[in-house]
Structure 1
Amino acid sequence: MINEYEVFETVRFISSFHRVRGSDEYKRLLDRLIEMLLGWGIKREQIEVIEYPTGGIKYGNFDSTMVWNIRDAELWLEDPRIFINSFGACKTSVLFGSNPTNGWQSLELVDEEYRGDFSNKAVLVNENPSKAFKKYVKQLGAKCLIVYYMRAQDESIGRTPEKMPQTVNYLSLPHTLEDSKEGAFGFSVSFDQFKFLKKFANRGNKVRLFVDSELEAGNLQVLRVRFSNRGMKKIGVVAHLCHPNPGANDNASGSALALHLCRELLGMKTAVGVDIILLPEFYGSLPYAAENSYDCVINLDMVGEDQQKTGSTLSLHETPPLLLNYYDELLFESLMIYAPFSSESPARRFFRSRFKSGSDHVVFENYGVPSPFIGQWPDKYYHTNEDTPDKCDPVMFKWVGQAVLRTLELSEDPPRHILEVAQAQAKAFLIKLENQPGFDLIRTVMMEKKTKPSKDLKSKKKIVPSKEGPLGYEWLDKAGELSEKRYVVDLGEILNLGARYLQDYDASISFAANYIGADKKETKDILDILIKNDFIHTV
């Protein structure tokens, strides 16, 4: 039986580490977690740390990042001398991937309204740091960015700059091998700090700062704990361990629960083999999924939220119906069975939705693996220094943990009604597609759960993805105004899956538009953008 309070304490422990993928501190945490697993009675031969090279290597559509070790950093206004922030005071205050400054530097403070030479300046911006990097660092020669930028603003839960003026967002500079050669560094500031510094920009004032860090090619680590049953189905439970201190809900919560599932699996006799896998998000799952085969992977991402504090709702995001989906039905039923109640009403919010991109399940689905995703969204404190353990709710750990364990127990021989419900769901979706281009092809792939179209069904215009794995995010730079629409990332990934499993232009458009609920012309425009920019190839 999952002990929710023990899981919560593990969240507190994990969140105390600054979990930069591949870094010395990430590896120290892995060592401590292995000690914990051994202390629970898990045998050493069940535990494995798998390493993948990073820095100057491309995995699918993702350029791998350099390994970043950060020791210290400070940011001051020079005259008048006023302290702004430091790595010691706030771990998210330094932009992930910042190069070392090699000692203290004094740089003139300017902003986007400055009309002079940006080289050797500190540029104050309120925009996505990746876009700011391309403009001010790569094009205009700046070395330092001081950034305020809040992703996923949401007035309904109070996630706005005005309502969170002291919050420091977790932000990154691009730090692939090529990007790191620019030597850029920077800081993330709160909204109040941004407004304060704005008063001193473009007036000859300077900031005084240093960053003590290093960027180098290295290795990323994946921790796997294996519970084997020969000849049976194999299920993976995955959670990403990376993210800064504190990063409690994102994603110490998923990692802690996955670890405690190991403790429960010790005393269980499951008919399936189970791997518990902790890895760096995307950059670890991409090479891992390429090498390891599963019948299903359950992704635990941000499962611990206190819904009253964070404004979150627990969600089960389904596997796209091109892949086997009875695991979704089994997990959904299990979540409903164990849902907490107060009197006769549900005590927590729960929602089931179509596929949503943005985490490691997308990677495994691109390798033909059904991958239901359990997570919570929205979250007021997502990617900020305020994502702390006090925003977690132990009840969530027991709920989700019991549901996952039941799913593992029944996965080898699922109840008949689960199979029938899954088949009915697929048939109901196909009714929406009748008489649309590519219907016969979609029906064949969905009902037979093939990973390639039948030979007797010829594509009118054959398309295939250019790379293994998910589409990623870089393509959004090519999408113009469409990139501002929130569902476009999901639509792009569904089109990529359509190209992979349907391999037909018209069928991919019909499937994606109906599944996402998007306009068909807009769906066609996005597919054409992906083809034009070589993310998807015509054959």
Structure 2
Amino acid sequence: MRLPVLLCFGLLSLAPLTCLASPADALALPEQDVAAIAREVNGEMAMQTLEGIVQQHRERGSRGFHTSAEWVASRARSFGLTDVEILQFPADGTIFYGTQRSRRAWDADAGELVEVSDGKQAPIASYAAVPMVLAEDSESADVTALLVDVGAGNTEADYAGKDVKGKLVLVSASPGEVQDLAIGKFGAVGILSYQQNQPNGWSGDNIEQIRWGHLDSFSAHPTFAFMLSMKQANALKARLSAGEAIRLHASVKAGQHASPYEVVTATIPGADPRLKEQEIAFTCHLDHPKPGANDNASGCSTILEVGRTLQTLIAQRALARPARTIRFIWGPEVEGTVVLLNARKDFARRIRAVVHMDMVGGGPRTQAVFHVTRGPASLPSFIHDVAWGFAQWVNVQSYDFAATGKAQFPMLAPSGGKEPLRAEDSPFALGSDHEVYQDSSYAIPAIYLNDWPDRYIHTTLDTAANIDPTKLGRVAFIGAATGVALANDPRIGTPAATPAPMRAPGPAASGDGKRVFRRNPEPRGPLSVFGYDWFDDHAKRLALPRPKLLDFEGPHGGGGDYAYEVLNFADGTRDAQQITNDVSAEFGPVPLALVIEYLQALERVGVVEQIR
């Protein structure tokens, strides 16, 4: 249940506070602390960090990731943060960290795609110029072959009547969805993909942007793939349809190799001897192909600005050192978090709440909407209301300035915009590291600050030019104020109430509906992580049919949402009918039979046990 939050403004004024809600609870920090943080946050400083990060092609375990990690660590040290280190965890493709099968690092040195039809030398794609043209996990190759258009390329029907053996295939699907069919079954030698961006209102508007592509890290059929723009693909498709033979030469020097996951971490130590071993964590993901400005150099630069702001104010004695330790974590998305919490169980024990930032700086051209996203119904917490209270305050301050030119704390960056923030209070959604912390393995409540939609996500147009420094500063304020408030809050770490009021009415439980399931202690982590799906892998080994819940679409969530929460609710106290009611209240009605089928599949793969 959402707690009422009072929104007050008029800080440092002799006039009474103006309040926008009741009951009479003010923001979760003293006025002088709110004012000090609002004055100190600096979107330009965050932008400087971002501009350093986006210079690197920072795939997991790569040279570019290491360079970015060193850049962030050096900035953290220069800002006075303590315990700054780059943790390393072995990754060789066989080691497991909970539900995460470690993925070997991937680096690329070169990648060139050239048309050589009729003796011509017409360049099509160059990794040196645009690193995103080479799909992640591509392997070295040097081939010359004809090109064949196979449509989407992810079903056998796409290859009917087409001879692709020894040829390159042009596909609209993700390279990872194609490789086992195209390479493994039908004998193609490489892939050209024009996979488009996530569907949104601006899909198809820019036919020259190129999307980030992935191959399957664990496929038995390693290959290479180049990513093309829709404009390039349309031209090639038209020529092929006209019967023209197109011969291409692809040269790639790249591949996976054993290299550790790296996670940068730093702290602001707590002041209370009884509480300083407890931590409030700020998290982001540092990995992404170049440039990856909003996703997610923006989150990583902003949590560092939170650290700089708080450390500066503490050193100036303008802000008291918080009771609990505040920790900052920069690692690979999702997989790095699963690795960290499994390899360093002390982190999982100490972290009591998380402020996660993934895409927080999108300017007007991105069409981004900024969200303060709540946690799942399975893990209710007051911390989201704390963050939302500060976001509402920024909404008022920024709107007042945009509308009247006057506001006490507009938090403007000289090179940034003047638009109001217009933050949204949003329900739980999957999609980043916050889902790891809030998984029932850890049950750490997390606030998720994020932009969605973003018309340039995962494309070559996600550049620093589309980031708004004013927004970075405002989000840094929301994060910093929330972090300090939580670091001093006596409620942190207390057990959450059972969210019984969330339950939707359901039919009387049948015998099957009375079954009670409890999650096992291991493996720890979400079952579908980045680049590896623990459930799918283990279900295939047992030849289990795919549970229908995974493909179910409800009014407010898809199969992944339902599956995540069904497992979270399997706590040994709820029966299957109660779990069905709970997830139905959260995402929309779902049949009991689908929930039971999924729970039974989880039991078969050893994730849950049935209490008999």
TM-score (norm 2): 0.76
How does 1:114-513 map onto structure 2 within 5 Å? Answer: 114=159, 115-154=161-200, 156=201, 158=202, 160-161=203-204, 163-176=205-218, 179=219, 182-201=221-240, 204-229=245-270, 230-232=273-275, 233-267=278-312, 268=314, 269-290=321-342, 291=345, 292-293=347-348, 294-306=351-363, 308-339=364-395, 340-341=398-399, 342-343=402-403, 347-366=420-439, 367-414=442-489, 430-431=500-501, 433=503, 436=506, 460-464=515-519, 467-472=523-528, 474=533, 478=546, 483=551, 485=553, 487-500=558-571, 504-513=575-584
In structure 1, the residue matched to 2:589 is 519
State the secondary structure of the residue aligned to 1:520.
coil
Asked if the contact 2:52–2:71 (Cα under 8 Å) also holds between the matched residues in 1, the reply is no
Q: Deviations over 1:5-35 (max 9, x none)?
A: 1211211111111011111121122222222
Per-residue deviation at 1:265? 2.7
Per-residue deviation at 1:122? 1.0
Aligned counterpart for 1:88 among listed residues 103, 118, 128 = 128
Asked if the contact 1:463–1:504 (Cα under 8 Å) also holds between the matched residues in 2, the reply is no
Asked if the contact 2:145–2:166 (Cα under 8 Å) also holds between the matched residues in 1, the reply is yes
Per-residue deviation at 1:512? 1.0
Label 1:22 to 1:400 Cα distance change in 2 as closer, same or farther (>3 A).
Answer: same
Range moving further from structure 2, 33-42 or 360-369: 33-42
Range moving further from structure 2, 208-217 or 475-484: 475-484
In structure 2, the residue matched to 1:22 is 61
For 1:228 and 1:318, how far apart are their aligned partners in 2?
Answer: 27
Matched, 1:56 2:94: yes
Label 1:479 to 1:164 Cα distance change in 2 as closer, same or farther (>3 A).
Answer: farther
Q: Max radius of gyration: which structure?
A: 2
For 2:192 and 2:79, how far apart are their aligned partners in 1?
Answer: 45
In structure 1, the residue matched to 2:139 is 99
Asked if the contact 1:438–1:504 (Cα under 8 Å) also holds between the matched residues in 2, the reply is no
Label 1:461 to 1:99 Cα distance change in 2 as closer, same or farther (>3 A).
Answer: same
Q: Indicate the RMSD between aligned Cα atoms, in angstroms.
A: 3.0
Asked if the contact 2:576–2:595 (Cα under 8 Å) also holds between the matched residues in 1, the reply is no
For 1:510 and 1:254, how far apart are their aligned partners in 2?
Answer: 35
Per-residue deviation at 1:213? 1.1
State the secondary structure of the residue aligned to 2:295.
helix
For 2:370 and 2:438, how far apart are their aligned partners in 1?
Answer: 21
Corresponding letter in the other structure for 1:495? V
Corresponding letter in the other structure for 1:47? V
For 1:481 and 1:531, how far apart are their aligned partners in 2?
Answer: 12
In structure 2, the residue matched to 1:455 is none
For 1:361 and 1:471, how far apart are their aligned partners in 2?
Answer: 14
Per-residue deviation at 1:472? 1.4
Q: Deviations over 1:183-237 (max 9, x none)?
A: 3101110001111222354865321111111311221100000222243131110
TM-score (norm 1): 0.85
Corresponding letter in the other structure for 1:212? K
State the secondary structure of the residue aligned to 2:477.
helix
For 2:251 and 2:214, how far apart are their aligned partners in 1?
Answer: 17
Per-residue deviation at 1:301? 0.4
Asked if the contact 1:437–1:507 (Cα under 8 Å) also holds between the matched residues in 2, the reply is no
Label 1:29 to 1:190 Cα distance change in 2 as closer, same or farther (>3 A).
Answer: same
Asked if the contact 1:143–1:182 (Cα under 8 Å) also holds between the matched residues in 2, the reply is no
Label 1:209 to 1:241 Cα distance change in 2 as closer, same or farther (>3 A).
Answer: same
Q: Deviations over 1:259-313 (max 9, x none)?
A: 122212323311221110000001110021232121101111001111x211111
For 2:305 and 2:173, how far apart are their aligned partners in 1?
Answer: 39
Label 1:133 to 1:524 Cα distance change in 2 as closer, same or farther (>3 A).
Answer: farther
Asked if the contact 2:502–2:586 (Cα under 8 Å) also holds between the matched residues in 1, the reply is no
Q: Deviations over 1:83-124 (max 9, x none)?
A: 2111122111000110011xx310221122553443322111
Label 1:530 to 1:263 Cα distance change in 2 as closer, same or farther (>3 A).
Answer: same
In structure 2, the residue matched to 1:452 is none
Q: Deviations over 1:334-353 (max 9, x none)?
A: 11122322226981332112
State the secondary structure of the residue aligned to 2:288.
coil
Corresponding letter in the other structure for 1:185? F
For these two proteins, the number of residue pairs brought into alignment is 501
Label 1:344 to 1:309 Cα distance change in 2 as closer, same or farther (>3 A).
Answer: same
Per-residue deviation at 1:379? 0.5
Q: Deviations over 1:117-141 (max 9, x none)?
A: 4332211101122221232223333
Label 1:146 to 1:500 Cα distance change in 2 as closer, same or farther (>3 A).
Answer: farther
Range moving further from structure 2, 50-59 or 296-305: 50-59
State the secondary structure of the residue aligned to 1:250.
helix
Per-residue deviation at 1:397? 1.3
In structure 2, the residue matched to 1:109 is 147
